[in-house]
């Protein structure tokens, strides 16, 4: 589903190369965890997948279902089924969360040649999804993420993901800012989306999240490259021993 080949990417503003020859394959049905020290390029990778314009790909390719996405803008990628849950979800003043969800869902339907959702059906879906994440429906009348606590913002990201049903989900540090109960609720929400037709990429610092969302593969990112891949035991090893060993091996 996702095949990243020898990807090199730099910051447009100052030309600094952040991603330096990254290779990664994530198959449909797979949950892949990406770990790595601070500043290794994890968030940058997620932004590049989503199509953020601050970064320029200088070499290599990103294939989604066998097709390069490099020429697609962020909206086209979203319509194609790529979803990024942000580490720091953006506040959108003046746009009620409910309205945002409606526009996002209907835009995707339009791109697929489907009719917009009727209001009762839309409300039913939102209510069900919000309830499954223990979110108060009244919160969705507020502008998106404005004044939401850290944990509420993360839940709002998962709510969007549940409603949009993307095929490739990239979750950037979804566990940060979540209390113990919220971590369980959000993880359950992600697990409910596991499916043979969907790939999920989870960026995290902590093995803790991976106890709830058990990954099929774990990849260590360092200086813009995947330096080691393994199964879930790799995350346990990192938790116990830190990154030094893996980095030394790669060197």
Ligand X SMILES: Nc1ncnc2c1ncn2[C@@H]1O[C@H](COP(=O)(O)OP(=O)(O)OP(=O)(O)O)[C@@H](O)[C@H]1O
Among residues 10, 44, 168, 225, which is the contact residue for ligand X, using CB under 6 A?
A: 44
Contact set for ligand X, span 51-80 (CB under 6 A): 54
Q: Can you point out the beta strands (E) in the chain?
A: 2-11, 17-26, 31-35, 55-64, 67-68, 82-85, 92-96, 143-144, 168-172, 199-203, 217-222, 225-230
Q: Which is nearer to ligand X, 15 or 248 (CB)?
A: 15
DSSP 115: P
> Who's near 8: CB < 8 A, 6+ residues apart?
17, 19, 20, 21, 22, 57, 58, 59, 60
The answer to the question of residue 11 lying near ligand X (CB under 6 A) is: yes
Could you tell me which stretch among 39-47, 96-104, 146-154, 227-235 binds ligand X (CB under 6 A)? Answer: 39-47
- Sole window of 36-44, 130-138, 157-165, 211-219 interacting with ligand X (rule: CB under 6 A): 36-44
CB atoms within 10 A of CB 154: 26
Binding segment (CB under 6 A) for ligand X, from list 33-41, 56-64, 190-198, 234-242: 33-41
Q: Specify the residue, 129 or 203, whose C-beta has the smaller distance to ligand X.
A: 203
Least CB distance from residue 56 to ligand X, whole Å? 11
Residue tagged 């839940």 (tokens): 155
Task: Give least dist CB 46 to ligand X, A.
Answer: 8
How do beta strands 67-68 and 55-64 pair? antiparallel
Distance of closest approach, residue 155 Cβ to ligand X, in angstroms? 20
> In whole angstroms, what separates CA 70 from the centre of its chain?
18
Q: Which of 4, 7, 9, 18 binds ligand X (CB under 6 A)?
A: 18
Count the Cβ atoms, other than its own, within 10 Å of residue 208: 14
Which of residues 5, 17, 25, 43 is near ligand X by CB under 6 A? 43
Using CB under 6 A, count the residues that bind ligand X. Answer: 11
- Orientation angle between helical segments 180-192 and 119-132, nearest 10 degrees: 130
Rounded (10°) angle between helices 150-164 and 119-132: 130
Does position 42 interact with ligand X (CB under 6 A)? The reply is yes
Query: CB under 6 A: which stretch of 31-39, 57-65, 68-76, 134-142 binds ligand X?
Result: 31-39
The smaller minimum CB distance to ligand X, of residues 13 and 115, is found at 13
d(CA 84, CA 201): 9
The structure tokens 């209390």 sit at: 179
CB of 136 to ligand X, least distance (A): 29
Q: Given candidates 2, 35, 40, 182, which one binds ligand X under the rule CB under 6 A?
A: 40
Q: Which stretch binds ligand X (CB under 6 A): 42-50, 148-156, 194-202, 235-243?
A: 42-50
> What is the contact surface with ligand X in residues (CB under 6 A)?
11, 18, 36, 38-44, 54
């Amino acid at each position: 589903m996702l095949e990243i080949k020898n990807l090199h990417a730099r910051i447009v503003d100052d030309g600094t190369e952040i991603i330096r020859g990254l290779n990664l394959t994530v198959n449909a049905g797979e949950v892949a965890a990406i770990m790595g020290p601070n500043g290794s390029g994890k968030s940058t990778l997620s932004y590049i997948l989503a199509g953020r314009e601050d970064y320029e790909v200088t070499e290599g390719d990103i294939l989604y279902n066998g097709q390069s996405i490099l020429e697609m803008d962020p909206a086209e990628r979203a319509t194609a089924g790529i979803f990024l849950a942000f580490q720091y979800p953006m506040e959108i003043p003046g746009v009620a969360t409910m309205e945002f969800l409606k526009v996002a869902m209907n835009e995707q339907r339009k791109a697929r040649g489907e009719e917009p959702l009727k209001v009762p059906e839309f409300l039913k879906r939102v209510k069900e999804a919000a309830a499954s994440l223990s979110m108060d429906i009244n919160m969705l009348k507020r502008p998106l993420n404005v004044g939401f606590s850290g944990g509420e913002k993360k839940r709002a990201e998962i709510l969007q993901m549940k409603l949009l049903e993307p095929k490739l989900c990239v979750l950037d540090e979804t566990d940060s800012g979540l209390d113990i109960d919220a971590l369980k609720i959000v993880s359950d929400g992600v697990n409910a989306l596991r499916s043979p037709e969907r790939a999920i990429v989870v960026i995290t610092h902590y093995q803790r999240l991976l106890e709830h969302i058990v990954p099929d593969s774990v990849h260590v990112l360092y200086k813009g490259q995947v330096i080691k891949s393994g199964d879930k035991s790799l995350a346990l090893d990192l938790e116990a021993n830190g990154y030094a060993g893996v980095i030394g091996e790669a060197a």
